[in-house]
C-alpha cells in the first residue's frame, strides 16, 4: 500500500500527512508541478494554504499540473482523500460536491472536536463502526460546508455524508453539521478535521488513524479480490 501526498507551494500539513500515512503503509510526496503519481494506490491532498490561498481557498491549486493526474486517477476509481485545504481543492476541482465558505465567526478556529461516524462501510471509514465518536482537531478559516438544501438531501439520502460534527461540536456553521463527504462513487472523500493530527495518543488522540487504516484495508482487499 503506497500513499502519495501532494505537495503544493504553501502546503503545511504535507509532512504530517506523510508521517501519518507512513504509520500504516508506504508514503511518498507528489510534487505539484509533476504530471506523475509515482504509481501510488491512494492520493492525499493535504492541508495548508496552497499558493497562499489569497484567492478563494483551493482555487489556484485546482489548476496545478499534478491535479490533472489526480482527477484522472479519481475518475478511474482511485482513492483520493482531501484534508482541510485538500477538501477545498477537491471541491474546486469538482471532484466533491458542495463548497467551503468562511467560518461563521469569520475567524480561524483551532479546536479538538468530536465527530460521529455516519457510515462505516466505505473505503475511508471501514475501520470504524457506525455511531463511533472520533476526537480529531480542526483548524481553518474557511471550513463551513455549504450546499443547497436539495443537494444536502441528496447527499444524505445517497449516503455521501460520512462524518458529522457531534452535537455541540460544529466549529464553523457547516450545514447539517457535515464534517466530511464523499463523491457518488465513494472513492473521493474530503473532510475539514485533520485525521493526520490524531494518530498518536501522545498528541491527544489516535482516532484519526482509523481513516488511514480504512484506506489501507480497502486497497489491500481490492488487491486480494
Catalytic residue list? 84, 194, 196
102 binds other proteins (CB under 8 A): no
- In the bound state with other proteins, the residue whose beta carbon lies nearer, of 194 and 218, is 194
Interstrand relation of 133-140 and 178-182 (parallel, antiparallel or unpaired): unpaired
109 binds other proteins (CB under 8 A): yes
User: What is the layout of strands, in order, in the sheet containing 42-45?
Assistant: 26-31, 2-7, 42-45, 79-83, 188-191, 178-182, 161-165, 109-117, 133-140
86 binds other proteins (CB under 8 A): no
145 binds other proteins (CB under 8 A): no
- In the bound state with other proteins, the residue whose beta carbon lies nearer, of 2 and 23, is 23
63 binds other proteins (CB under 8 A): no
111 binds other proteins (CB under 8 A): yes
Which of 175, 127, 177, 171 is CA-nearest to residue 148? 175
In Å, the largest CA–CA distance within the chain is: 47
Smallest gap from residue 88 Cβ to other proteins (A) = 14
- Contact criterion met (CB below 8 Å) for 74 and 224: no
62 binds other proteins (CB under 8 A): no
- Contact criterion met (CB below 8 Å) for 18 and 5: yes
Among the residue ranges 41-49, 72-80, 92-100, 153-161, the one whose residues contact other proteins (CB under 8 A): 41-49
- Which residues are 82's β-sheet partners? 45, 190
65 binds other proteins (CB under 8 A): no
69 binds other proteins (CB under 8 A): no
| CB proximity list for 102: less than 8 A, separation 6 or greater | 141, 142, 144
**Residue in 62, 144, 169, 197 binding other proteins, rule: CB under 8 A:** 197
Which of 185, 188, 186 is CA-nearest to residue 89? 188
**Residue in 1, 4, 5, 13 binding other proteins, rule: CB under 8 A:** 13
Gap between the terminal Cα atoms of the chain: 15
- In the bound state with other proteins, the residue whose beta carbon lies nearer, of 11 and 160, is 11
139 binds other proteins (CB under 8 A): yes
> What is the binding site for other proteins (CB under 8 A)?
9-13, 15-16, 19-20, 47-49, 51-54, 107-111, 137, 139, 141, 194, 196-197, 200, 202-204
Amino acid at each position: 500500500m503506497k500513499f502519495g501526498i501532494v505537495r503544493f507551494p504553501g502546503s503545511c500539513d504535507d509532512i504530517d500527512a506523510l508521517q501519518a500515512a507512513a504509520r500504516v503503509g508506504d508514503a511518498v510526496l507528489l510534487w505539484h508541478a509533476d504530471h506523475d503519481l509515482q504509481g501510488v494506490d491512494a492520493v492525499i491532498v493535504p492541508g495548508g494554504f496552497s499558493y497562499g490561498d489569497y484567492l478563494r481557498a483551493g482555487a489556484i491549486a485546482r489548476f496545478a499540473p499534478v491535479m490533472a493526474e489526480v482527477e484522472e486517477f479519481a475518475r478511474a476509481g482511485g482513492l483520493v482523500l482531501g484534508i482541510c485545504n485538500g477538501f477545498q481543492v477537491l471541491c474546486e476541482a469538482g471532484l466533491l460536491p458542495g463548497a467551503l465558505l468562511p467560518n461563521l465567526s469569520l475567524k480561524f478556529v483551532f479546536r479538538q472536536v468530536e465527530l460521529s461516524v455516519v457510515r462505516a462501510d466505505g473505503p475511508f471509514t471501514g475501520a470504524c463502526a457506525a455511531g463511533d465518536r472520533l476526537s480529531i482537531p480542526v483548524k481553518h478559516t474557511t471550513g463551513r460546508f455549504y450546499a443547497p438544501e436539495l443537494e444536502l438531501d441528496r447527499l444524505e439520502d445517497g449516503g455521501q455524508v460520512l462524518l458529522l460534527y457531534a452535537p455541540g461540536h460544529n466549529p464553523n456553521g457547516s450545514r447539517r453539521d457535515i464534517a466530511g463527504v464523499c463523491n457518488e462513487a465513494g472513492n473521493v472523500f474530503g473532510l475539514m478535521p485533520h485525521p493526520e493530527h490524531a494518530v498518536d495518543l501522545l498528541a491527544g488522540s489516535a482516532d484519526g488513524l482509523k481513516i488511514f487504516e480504512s484506506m489501507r484495508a480497502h486497497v489491500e482487499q481490492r488487491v486480494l479480490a
